[in-house]
Chains A and B, each alone.
Chain A
Amino acid sequence: MMNRKTILLMMFALISMQGYSQKARKLSFVGGARSSVFSNSLNVTDTLPDTTTAKNNYGGYALIDLGFNIQPNKQTEIMGMFRIKNNYGGFWGSGVQFDVRQLWVKGVVGNAIRYQIGDLNLKQSPFTLYNHHSDRLDSLPSIFRLQQNIISYEQFYQNNTWRMQGANVDFGLTFAKYLKEINFNGFITRLNATNFANVNERLMTGGNINIVQSNQLSFGYTINRTFDLKATTANNNLFNNTIHTFDWKLNHSIAQNTLSIAGEAGLSNWNYSEDTLAPVLNDYFVHAYANLFIPSFHANISLGYLNVGPDFRSIGAQSKDVNYNSPTVFFNRFTNNQQLRPITLIDMIGNENIYNKTIGSTLATESELFNDILPFGLATFNRVGAYAKLQTQSKNKLSFQAELYQLNEIRGQGSLALKAFRQLKLNSNIPLHNLIGFSKKLGLQLGMRLQQTTRESEFAVENIDLKNIQYSAGIQYELIPDFEILAGFVQQRNNGNSFITERNEYGEVTYFRTSNYQLKQQITAVGLRINFSPKAYLCAMLQQSSYQDLSTVNDKAMADFKINQFGLIYNILL
């Protein structure tokens, strides 16, 4: 009897092991883990000493994202990712959060049609569905980029995509003659769910046809439509925003160089079906550019023309990653009056609470401090003008980028006089170790962005002269293999006067508040990083940010403050 039991048990174990080994071929684990500890201290300089705000706070968390990637057959892939997060101080279950972070199924039907259902990372063209990250600093030093990468991971930002939920299909056809290939892509996603009372179910659909005639010519058509589903509530006032665009690209060889002429043009419509107070907005845009690639200099030179109508609306392309109305969470209020602390560089760089995960339904709030020229990237409405770009990289990896935008308003804002915008960006990555023949890696990053907005009106009160300038510098030095010193500095100055636009729920301008700036804010950080592998590191950093309002015009409306932060980040990607 014992022998039979033993044999049965052994057979069961063997079958289980076989099953396991079979499953092991089809099941893989993905995800990551992170532990972060921060200690923050606040220093307020006010006319009356701030005695009401707690000046220190400590916090941190440990989290693990565990994803199961299952391939039940060659054509199908299933991903489910769970998150377990424990804020420090939350033991024995209290403070522990369990979430489903990702859930999707994707596959191929008949070796031709690819599909994905569930969570999607979507983007179309810069005028239809696109996460522009327009307020981000282009030349962010590495020590700050670590924090920005965590935000991108948390909010699922990947190459200008937005995180959405729905279904996506794409397929392509290839041809022997006349055309090379035609690619089709379509999706449907849910933007917001009905509340069964007065908020209708809102969906976004989109599609793209890209026709590649040859390596020299391709063109395409894109549609994006956001709409309310009828009869999901008793509210028959239905929202609609439709964008149709046509894009093209021509490549032409000139000696060893390649000249590309590309662009996109389209129309938008924005309306509510029954709301008589809501405007009906129709407009168009044109974006065209020529790019010359000179391989002998590793250089790209671009010249572009941009014309985006004042009534051009595209909620997929005009949603912002930063939510300027969200609370900063740490040191959210300060001073004896318990003022709301403004969003500053330290938040823009490392505060995930101010970042949106997905697109919004109403026009996002802009910040003239962080981006007054193109707050919605290329899709910023009411802009016409030109730009020039230069990118180059030397043989020893020294790279340099320059960018100049010269734009104007198309329709005045509270004035018949039009604003003129100028933006200049200069960025460089300098591998000093290559230049000076140093054996250890030593990199330097330098960046500058100047934004200038002016308006000259017959009425002096309408004049604007606002200058925003950002400088950044970063250094990365490898002390010993996989052990680096990082340091970074960013300074932003806003000087001059402008008007803050107030809008109603439809995005219509209702008022202009006078603004006067003489602001200086900066952030400095130093840190040490140990790289355990390309996907795992431990970093200790010390950073200080300061905010100074030097203006006498607005009677120092905001108290000056400094935030010192010590942080420890241990990050692993599986």
Chain B
Amino acid sequence: MKKTLLIISIISVGLSACRKENTFEGPSINEINSKFTILEPFKANKNSADFETSNAIFTARFNKIVSWKITIKGSISKATKIITGESKVIDASNATWNGSTTQFPLFKAENCTATLLIASENDSTSTTLAISKTKPLPTGARMIANFENGLDPNWTKFFQSGASMECIVKSDNFAPEGNKYLNMGGTVNWDWLIGLVDFNARAYQNNVTFPFSTNPENEYFNVLIYGDPSTNLTKALFQFKEDENGDGVFDATKEDEYDYSIDVTWSGWRLVSVKYADIVTLVNGNPASPNGNKQHNPDKISKISFLQLADPNLGFARCKIDLITFTQNKAIDL
């Protein structure tokens, strides 16, 4: 028994002795509670950013971990990008900017001011950065409409003849991308429909269908929509019509149509993205069974329609749309 006790004691002490900890976990508490100082000033890694070829990186170094926020503001577009973090070092791992936007519009080729704010220390510092080339659309993105060339004559258009109708491509400070967008608004007191635009596949290099992949799980529909809460609630309805037999004609009684209805309840521009496989068929706003092969076939979409709808009893309604795209594998990153 004495031997056993001795063996166990030796093993225990031996194992304890194996531990040699002369370090500690986490950030230093002494450091966290020390007076804040900036060890390396806040700066960008370049004066001029070409987002077609590379990203911009912001750097700074502090004596302790702090919560920080970088706000980048475009001098012309007034676009805003916000990057936040909690660290003692700002570098490529946490402050890389690919030219994307947090608050629309998108950035233009313009001068920007980046401001670093350390809220807990009531401290801020700024640097400047010019954009020489803006962020391109992601690889594999298919543009349906950005309205930079107005309304394509090969698109089918119908606008009601109500009061105060303004269904035109406009070029003003509201443009979230490029210089132009589609504005659609007016008072139509006899019908829900205010106007519609059919984006026919034939308008694009005379294709019967859009050149999308066969997998609906990989295809994402994206659109920028501007909401104006001071007007009647707008519904933006997008219809995706599949020409399943490839005869160049969409037959609503025998082929699938999928519908994505958006209640534009917000103020300002917002990016709306949805996976094509998640879009359902709607009849009078309610989910229904499609009339064709009942399978999502993005490669068979022959027509994408945008309809602006509003309750005829509630007066003037308006929304703006821009940058209608399809992207692969994920929603568009703007």
Contact = CB atoms under 8 A, between A and B. Distances in A.
Interface of A: 250, 252, 259, 261, 263, 265, 284, 286, 288, 290, 305, 307, 309-310, 384, 410-416, 457, 459, 461-462, 499, 501, 508-512, 514
A326 B23 CA distance: 34
B15 A461 contact: no
Contacts of B30: 415, 457, 459, 461-462
Contact of A413 (B12, B15, B19, B26): B26
Interface in B1-60: 1, 4-5, 8, 11-12, 15-16, 19, 21-30, 32-33
Nearest to B14: A286
B278 interface: no
Nearest to A458: B30
B277 to A, nearest CB: 13
A95 to B, nearest CB: 29
B86 interface: yes
A510 B26 contact: yes
B65 interface: yes
Given A259-B1, A265-B15, A512-B27, 5 more contacts: A286-B16, A411-B21, A412-B24, A508-B26, A510-B27
Given A261-B4, A288-B12, A414 B32 contact: yes
15 contacts: A250-B1, A252-B1, A259-B1, A261-B5, A286-B11, A286-B12, A411-B25, A412-B25, A414-B28, A414-B29, A501-B26, A510-B86, A511-B32, A511-B65, A514-B33
B160 to A, nearest CB: 43
A11 to B, nearest CB: 54
Contacts of B86: 510-511
A499 B29 contact: yes
Contacts of A509: 25-27
Contacts of B15: 265, 284, 286, 307
A282 B86 CA distance: 28
Contacts of B11: 265, 286
A509 B22 CA distance: 17
Contacts of B24: 411-416
B29 A512 contact: yes
A307 B8 contact: no
B25 A310 contact: yes
Nearest to A462: B29
A499 B26 CA distance: 12
Q: What are the 5 closest A-B residue pairs judged by CB atoms, nearest first?
A: A509-B26, A412-B24, A414-B29, A459-B30, A411-B21
Interface of B: 1, 4-5, 8, 11-12, 15-16, 19, 21-30, 32-33, 65, 86
B19 A309 contact: yes
B61 to A, nearest CB: 18
Contacts of A305: 12
A261 B32 CA distance: 46
A554 B12 CA distance: 43
Contacts of A514: 33
A368 to B, nearest CB: 15
A443 B25 CA distance: 48
B22 A416 contact: yes
Contacts of B4: 250, 261
Nearest to B19: A410
A305 B33 CA distance: 36
Contacts of B29: 414-415, 459, 461-462, 499, 512
B216 to A, nearest CB: 16
Contacts of A415: 24, 28-30
A9 B44 CA distance: 95
A248 to B, nearest CB: 8
A494 B8 CA distance: 38
B24 to A, nearest CB: 3
Given A250-B1, A259-B1, A415-B30, A307 B16 contact: yes
A302 to B, nearest CB: 14
Contacts of B8: 261, 263, 288
Nearest to A283: B19
A414 B25 contact: yes
A416 B28 CA distance: 9
A554 to B, nearest CB: 15
A305 B5 CA distance: 12
Contacts of A307: 12, 15-16
Nearest to A290: B5
A508 B30 CA distance: 19
A113 B29 CA distance: 56
A461 B1 contact: no
B22, B33, B86: residue with the most chain A Cβ atoms closer than 10 Å: B33
- For B24, B25, B33, which residue has the most chain A Cβ atoms within 10 angstroms? B25
Nearest to A417: B24
Contacts of B12: 286, 288, 305, 307
Given A286-B11, A307-B16, A511 B26 contact: yes
Given A261-B8, A265-B15, A411 B32 contact: no
Nearest to A284: B15
B62 to A, nearest CB: 14
A512 B21 contact: no
B16 A384 contact: yes
Contacts of A384: 16, 19
A464 to B, nearest CB: 9
Among A252, A411, A457, residue most surrounded by chain B Cβ atoms (within 10 Å): A411
Contacts of A414: 24-29, 32
Contacts of B27: 414, 509-512
A7 B324 CA distance: 82
Contacts of B16: 286, 307, 384
A418 to B, nearest CB: 8
B273 to A, nearest CB: 17
Nearest to B34: A461
Contacts of A286: 11-12, 15-16
A284 B4 CA distance: 21
Contacts of A499: 29
A511 B86 CA distance: 10
B230 to A, nearest CB: 30
A412 B21 contact: yes
B22 A461 contact: no
Nearest to B29: A414
Nearest to A418: B21
Contacts of B65: 511
B246 to A, nearest CB: 32
Contacts of A512: 26-27, 29, 32
A310 B21 contact: yes
Contacts of B1: 250, 252, 259, 261
Contacts of B33: 461, 514
B32 to A, nearest CB: 6
A414 B24 CA distance: 6
Nearest to A513: B32
A223 B25 CA distance: 28
B88 to A, nearest CB: 11
A319 to B, nearest CB: 21
A307 B15 CA distance: 9
A509 B25 CA distance: 6
Contacts of A511: 26-27, 32, 65, 86
Nearest to A382: B25
A415 B25 CA distance: 8
Nearest to A259: B1
Contacts of A508: 25-26
A421 to B, nearest CB: 16
A315 to B, nearest CB: 19
A264 to B, nearest CB: 12
A250 B8 CA distance: 12
User: Which of the listed residues B8, B28, B33 has the most CB atoms from chain A within 10 Å of its own CB?
Assistant: B8
